[in-house]
């Protein structure tokens, strides 16, 4: 591992199985006359804890413990991978977890009605319950209108019981969470050395912006000459430009960083959002089936399948050079596939 003495990491917990492997997808690459595709297997950061959130939560939860918190409150969609990771880690660390979940009316969210469940919880929600999290499900309208007020309400509720809650924003994407993907860049540099490649692009799914903020900032800090390309799965490119820079500003303020590196480059493609967050068209499900059958790599329809499909489309459009190596960061999300399994026909 290359240690840069100038980058002072804050305290973190060792929760993820790191480093994750970097693997070539040669059968898939051969089907395109394009770049060589590699995958950084962050879906292997742990078993049920798999995915990108655990890298962020290593820093976020260290901060929560340092502040003497005994309760975690966080939020997300009803099939949120981040909420599932928080529920599991809370159980692992002996912390109470309360999840504020948004029921995105349309699409199969895996739980049925907004506050009344009509059938057994599925996918991530099933694991949330299994790990003993307290769960409050809100309609999309209520969640959006009252998100901050809900955090405050529940925080006061626990304070009245003598507990101390740590509030984690959506996706743990803030100035603390992004350390996880700054550190991942250090790991990638090591991977590239061992495989003797110099990838031109690092591609991944962007949902709440923290992974992109960490990777983009990390590349600038470590002077890694690969372009990070976030493929938006929900909001447009302008939103992600603002959100990523806001997370980086928060990082700079919270950790008293004198100056940002000059070369932070935030590139987002919003051509592949499709019908909306957690809704994917048949082309995404086709890509999921193709990659699973050809490479044994499992993608989900909400994040990685959508972004991977976008990357394959960009390859077909000639966006990358044939001589390029490109790396797809697999950020996990497998349980979201189970919640939408009806969309796949065999």
Of positions 34, 35, 121, 171, contacts ligand PLP by CB under 6 A:
171
Q: Which of residues 40-99 bind ligand PLP (CB under 6 A)?
A: 51-52, 81-82
Nearer to ligand PLP, 107 or 207 (CB): 207
Cβ proximity of 54 and 45 under 8 Å: yes
Tell me if 305 contacts ligand PLP by CB under 6 A: no
Residue 209 Cβ vs ligand PLP, minimum distance, rounded to whole Å: 5
CA separation for the pair 182, 191 (Å, rounded)? 15
Cβ proximity of 202 and 327 under 8 Å: yes
Peptide bond into 165 cis (omega under 30): no
Nearer to ligand PLP, 36 or 84 (CB): 84
Tell me if 210 contacts ligand PLP by CB under 6 A: yes
**Which span sits near ligand PLP by CB under 6 A: 137-145, 188-196, 251-259, 328-336?**
328-336
Nearer to ligand PLP, 42 or 197 (CB): 42
Residue 62 Cβ vs ligand PLP, minimum distance, rounded to whole Å: 18
Of positions 79, 211, 269, 278, contacts ligand PLP by CB under 6 A:
211
Nearer to ligand PLP, 110 or 197 (CB): 110
Residues recorded for the chain: 346
Residue 87 Cβ vs ligand PLP, minimum distance, rounded to whole Å: 14
- Which among 12, 50, 80, 114 is annotated as catalytic? 80
Of positions 110, 121, 123, 209, contacts ligand PLP by CB under 6 A:
209
Residue 155 Cβ vs ligand PLP, minimum distance, rounded to whole Å: 22
Q: x/- contact string, 266-295, with ligand PLP (CB under 6 A)?
A: ------------------------------
Q: How far is CA 228 from CA 39, 205, 264, in A?
A: 14, 11, 10
* Residue partners of 228: CB distance under 8 A and separation at least 6: 201, 202, 204, 212, 215, 216, 219, 265, 266, 267
H or E element at residue 247: helix 237-254
Residue 210 Cβ vs ligand PLP, minimum distance, rounded to whole Å: 4
Q: Can you tell me which residue has the tokens 């929900």?
A: 234
Cβ proximity of 151 and 73 under 8 Å: yes
Residue 160 Cβ vs ligand PLP, minimum distance, rounded to whole Å: 32
Cβ proximity of 165 and 69 under 8 Å: yes
Of positions 205, 224, 312, 337, contacts ligand PLP by CB under 6 A:
205
In degrees, to the nearest 5, what angle opens at C-alpha 272 toward C-alphas 207 and 48? 40
Cβ proximity of 75 and 147 under 8 Å: yes
- Which parts of the chain are beta strand (E)? 22-24, 36-40, 71-77, 96-103, 134-139, 165-168, 201-206, 227-232, 267-269, 325-329
Of positions 123, 207, 301, 305, contacts ligand PLP by CB under 6 A:
207
Q: How far is CA 58 from CA 13, 146, 181, in A?
A: 5, 28, 11
Nearer to ligand PLP, 167 or 195 (CB): 167
Nearest to 228 by CA among 327, 159, 150, 144: 327
Asked if 226 is an active-site residue, the reply is no
Nearer to ligand PLP, 104 or 197 (CB): 104
Per CB under 6 A, residues contacting ligand PLP are 51-52, 81-82, 171, 173, 205-212, 303-304, 331-333
Catalytic residues: 80
């Amino acid at each position: 591992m290359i240690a840069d003495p100038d980058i002072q990491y804050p305290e973190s917990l060792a929760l993820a199985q790191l480093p994750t492997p970097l693997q070539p997808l040669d059968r898939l690459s051969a089907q395109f006359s394009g770049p060589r595709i590699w995958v950084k297997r962050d879906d292997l950061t742990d078993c049920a804890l798999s995915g990108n959130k655990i890298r962020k939560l290593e820093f976020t939860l260290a901060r929560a413990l340092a502040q003497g918190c005994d309760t975690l409150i966080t939020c997300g969609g009803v099939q949120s991978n981040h909420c599932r990771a928080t529920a599991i880690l809370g159980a692992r660390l002996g912390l109470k977890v309360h999840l504020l979940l948004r029921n995105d009316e349309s699409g199969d969210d895996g739980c049925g009605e907004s506050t009344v469940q009509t059938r057994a919880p599925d996918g991530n929600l099933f694991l949330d319950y299994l790990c003993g999290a307290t769960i409050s499900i809100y309609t999309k309208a209520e969640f959006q209108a009252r998100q901050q007020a809900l955090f405050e309400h529940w925080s006061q509720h626990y304070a009245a019981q003598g507990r101390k809650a740590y509030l984690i924003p959506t996706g743990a994407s803030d100035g603390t969470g992004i350390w996880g993907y700054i550190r991942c860049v250090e790991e990638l540099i090591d991977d590239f050395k061992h495989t003797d490649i110099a990838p031109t692009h690092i591609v991944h799914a962007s949902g709440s912006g923290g992974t992109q903020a960490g990777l983009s900032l990390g590349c600038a800090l470590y002077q890694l000459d690969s372009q990070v390309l976030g493929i938006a799965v929900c909001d447009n490119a302008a939103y992600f430009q603002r959100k990523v820079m806001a997370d980086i500003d928060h990082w700079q303020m919270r950790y008293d960083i004198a100056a940002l590196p000059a070369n932070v480059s935030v590139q987002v493609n919003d051509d592949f959002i499709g019908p909306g967050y957690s809704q994917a068209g048949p082309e995404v499900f086709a890509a999921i089936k193709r990659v699973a059958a050809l490479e044994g790599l499992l993608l989900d329809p909400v994040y990685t399948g959508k972004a991977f499909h976008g990357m394959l489309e960009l390859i077909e459009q000639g966006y990358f050079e044939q001589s390029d190596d490109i790396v797809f960061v697999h950020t996990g999300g497998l349980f979201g596939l189970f919640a939408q399994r009806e969309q796949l026909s065999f």
